Amino acid sequence: MQLGVAIPLLVVPGGRWPVPRWTDIRARALAAEEVGFDLVVVEDVLSWPQGDITGGAWESVSLLGGLAEATSTIRIGHSVLNAPYRAPGLIAQMAATLDEMSDGRYVLGIGAGNSPDADYAAFGIPADPRFSRFIESLQIIVALLRDGHATFEGRFHQASDAQLVLRGPREQGPPIVVGAGGPRMKGAAARWADEWNWWTPPSDLSEVAGHLAALDRACEDVGRDPGSIRRSLDVYFPVIDGEPTDDRIAQQLLSLGELGVDEVRCYLEKQPTQRDWLAATERMAGVVDQVHSA
């Protein structure tokens, strides 16, 4: 099993957690690489309106370009790229460029959009109906990354012999990971993705088997071998306070591997300062070693 770690970007300026500066984010990625994590992912959001409070984040594509240059061995990627923010052709070219800059280490995680509706409205971005728009966008992205060209006529997105002229180091582009919790999104992952991804807190690990079984059925429905799609899971672990223990965390992760999960991305909770986040990452070194050696 492989292990990834997430670097959170979404914060409320002036709130409990300080805004992560570029030097902080770079240091976090380098620390994850040093500890031995296989992947580092970042979130993608413009704003997160919540009543009278609005959170924000640095633009994730630009940021990953910097991480591609700063790191050398760890894979980098989007936990979930927010598809409505960008035209599908732009997403494909962005993915190919990041794959080139990272020498084949980029992972394109993508979803239908998970920020509040007010986010899209504030920036004048049409997002609904989320699923239908995403399916059209995904088909264009897949065609461009895998074949280098796309022709598509949909209700929301079109491509007329669009070409991805410059290709990255991998012939079929970076792996496409679809974040899918519901049945329709699982069906999309089964039909077009290289990898399925979803999330769970430790208290809900019992639900993972159900998600994996549903993914198997979705693959069978489209005539795909369920063993041909990779499976990853985002798991939230509070590690700053020293509980649960390294052994307990490692056993939880390994139990996911026994269920059929290929990679777990760890979200380290309670990270109010740079010092605490780096300490949490370092604290996971023993867990990483145990999982890799199992």
In tens, the pLDDT along 76-119 reads 999 999 999 999 999 999 999 999 999 999 999 999 998 889 99
pLDDT below 50 — which residues of the chain?
240
- What pLDDT does residue 124 have? 96
**Peptide bond connecting 174 to the previous residue in cis, omega within 30 degrees of 0:** no
Q: Which long-range contacts (CB under 8 A, 24 or more apart) does 18-27 make?
A: 18/272, 18/273, 18/274, 20/58, 20/274, 22/58, 22/63, 22/66, 24/274, 25/58, 25/63, 25/67, 26/66, 26/67, 26/70, 27/274, 27/278
Could you tell me the residue ranges of all domains in the chain?
Answer: 2-293
Let me know: does 74 contact 32? Beta carbons within 8 Å. yes
Specify the residue for token string 């902080």: 24
According to CATH, what is the number of the domain 2-293?
Answer: 3.20.20.30
pLDDT given for residue 160 in this prediction: 97
pLDDT score at 240: 45
